Amino acid sequence: MHILIDGHLDLAWNAAAHDRDLSLSLDEMNRAEIGMNDVSYRGLATTTFPEMRAAGIHLCLGTLLARSGPEHQRKQKYLRTEIDYNTRIGSYAAAHAQLACYDFWERQGEIRLIHTAADLESHWQNQPEGQDSKSPIGIILSMEGADPIPEPSMLEVFYQAGLRAIGPAHYGHSHYAAGTAVEGPITADGRQLLQEMERLKMGLDVTHLSDRSMAEAFDLFGGTLWASHHNSRTLVPNQRQISDEQMKTVIERDGVIGTACDAWMLQTGWIIGKTRPDQLTMSAVVDHIDYVCQMAGNANHAAIGTDLDGGYGTEQTPTDLKTIADLQKVGELLADRGYSDADITKIFSENWLRVFRRILPDQ
Ligand SMILES: [Zn+2]
């Protein structure tokens, strides 16, 4: 088994906004949702802590996720009650509820929050022995869409709580940048936020930034950056996907691109809620990983950022991915395509480790 780092999971959002108990087995958690229909993916989850351990996931980026940008206020038609807030305090409070989830899980021994380089090294050396190990999963906190930060000067509040990376926007405009499905610049507050992040040596996650906002972020931000869950726009065209030019810049900056397992990012023409995953297999995940490696000319920049608990379940995953534990197949598929064991280890963990080592403070 290859030990794996997942560059993108929304674990606490699943607990705080969906009332999911991730310490259960997958079967138990999904059975508990029978009859619930508040969101379309009830009972179809792929991700719990036991399944993550079976996947060999020893570390991941875990998000704080809440929005209060202009498209997300309750008078708008795109309201999603589990993620959208009218007010800055609403998204600030929602992110704190998610911080409470991570704190709870750490007290339960499910996870270990990684705040420093020393935390990372001791956690990484302490790898689980065997799939049934109950060892805690390491989590580095990231924020998907920066709306929970009421103003740039309050970044410190979240940094103190362990936040080490930020993607300034999610879907629509945030208070800091333009995101998926819209276009626009980094805002004045966004410029200040990027400066403050660079001062604190935090990571910048460019996933979800619109083309203009991403181009500006590349210029404005001199620190460590990556694209946590971002598939190729050439393979599957959509503004949400990463263009060749953007990918080249991430590679030149010695960043990492995490391939996501969401079906619509893997199969051209997928219509959410309509298309069924009849044809799609994990071979498509490997296509996107391989695309990054071909662009780079090596295996130093491709990684995995599954997004497997990001608001969908098995209705929107490859047919051979029923649980996050199936990710180990990616290693076999890469080997089938001629990837060496050393390259698979880079893709599974070492590339993420390299960028994490750059952003974590010594103490
Ligand atoms: Zn996302």
- pLDDT tens digits for 265-302? 999 999 999 999 899 999 999 999 999 999 999 999 99
Share of residues in the chain with pLDDT > 70 (%): 97
Helix (H, G, I), strand (E, B) or coil at 137: strand
- Domain extent, residue 236, equals 4-359
Q: Would the pLDDT of 75 be above 70?
A: no
The alpha carbon of 6 and the centre of ligand 1 are apart by a number of angstroms equal to 13
Please tell me the total count of domains within the chain: 1
Residue 283's Cβ-count burial label (10 Å; 0-12, 13-18, 19+) is middle
Q: Could you identify the residue written with the tokens 């999610």?
A: 170
Residue 201 belongs to domain with CATH number: 3.20.20.140
The alpha carbon of 71 and the centre of ligand 1 are apart by a number of angstroms equal to 16
Q: Which residue has the higher pLDDT, 111 or 129?
A: 111
Please report the pLDDT score of residue 132 as a whole number: 60
- The CA distance from 350 to 275, in Å, is 35
The alpha carbon of 311 and the centre of ligand 1 are apart by a number of angstroms equal to 9
Contact indicator for 264, 312 with CB cutoff of 8 Å: no
Beta bridge partner(s), residue 303: 258
Q: Which amino acid is at 335?
A: A
The alpha carbon of 292 and the centre of ligand 1 are apart by a number of angstroms equal to 19
The model's pLDDT over 18-55, given as tens digits with 9 standing for 90+, comes to: 999 999 999 999 999 999 999 999 999 999 999 999 99
Q: Among 303, 139, 133, 154, which Cα is nearest to 230's?
A: 303
CB atoms within 10 A of CB 238: 13
The alpha carbon of 166 and the centre of ligand 1 are apart by a number of angstroms equal to 12
Contacts for 294 with CB less than 8 Å, ≥ 6 apart: none
Q: What is the pTM of this model?
A: 0.97
The alpha carbon of 310 and the centre of ligand 1 are apart by a number of angstroms equal to 7
